[in-house]
Amino acid sequence: MIWLAAYVGSILAINFAFSLFPHLDLVWSCWAGLIFVLRDMVQVRFGHWSLAAMLVGTLLSTLLADPFVATASVAAFAVSELIDWAVFTVTKRPLRDRLWLSAALSVPVDTALFFGMLDIWDPGVWAASLASKLLGVSVVWALMRARDGRLPATA
């Protein structure tokens, strides 16, 4: 249940933060990486109900954050969530591989939609967003692989 609360709370928090302090877009871009990892953990634990969690987070964002930011977030999350769902539904690879593959496919789409809709074209912000999201899921992938005993925990 903690993953679910963290996921929904993070959606709301980042949209609210983006609304209040848009000039800190680089900071919020790095934070967004965490949301993708949380989304995957919710998907693992709650399956298709992860779509409902996303809906709750985006509805709260629409009510409490700047509607323009919330709309961009909803559009980007909806598309990336569908990509994530497809990867988890179709792919039969180990969980850690599905997490990474999902991120590799959905992160660029999410980033392009969100920042494009907000008219943010700063390459540094885009790069930080992509890097933080992919780094976050790569760390989770490595930890899961180490846990499976295929790599030493110190590697």
Q: Tell me, what DSSP letter sits at residue 155?
A: -
Of 100, 105, 139, 107, nearest to 126 by C-alpha is: 107
pTM value? 0.77
Q: What is the pLDDT of residues 30-72, one digit of tens each?
A: 777 778 778 878 888 888 788 888 888 878 888 888 888 889 9
Assess if residue 135 is contained within a domain.
yes
The single residue listed with the structure tokens 């298709």 is 48
Residue of 112 and 148 predicted with greater confidence: 112
Is residue 109 one of the residues assigned to a domain? yes
Residue 153 is assigned to a structural domain of this protein:
no
* CA-atom Rg of the chain in angstroms: 15
Residue 123 burial (CB count, 10 A): 7
Q: How far is CA 136 from CA 57, 65, 104, 106, in A?
A: 21, 25, 12, 14
pLDDT by residue (tens digit) across 97-146? 988 898 899 989 998 999 999 898 989 888 888 888 888 788 888 888 89
Flag whether 110 is in a domain: yes
Q: Is residue 22 part of a domain?
A: yes
The total of structural domains in the chain comes to 1
Structure-model confidence comparison of residues 74 and 116, the more confident one: 116
Instruction: Decide if 154 is inside a domain.
Output: no
Do the domain assignments include residue 101?
yes
- Segments forming the whole domain that contains residue 54: 2-147
Q: Would you say residue 124 lies in a domain? A: yes
35 in Cβ contact with 93 (< 8 Å): no
CA distances from 145 to 92, 151, 154 (A): 16, 6, 12
- Long-range contacts of the stretch 89-97 (C-beta < 8 A, 24+): 94/148, 95/44, 95/144, 96/140, 96/141, 96/144, 96/145, 96/148, 97/141
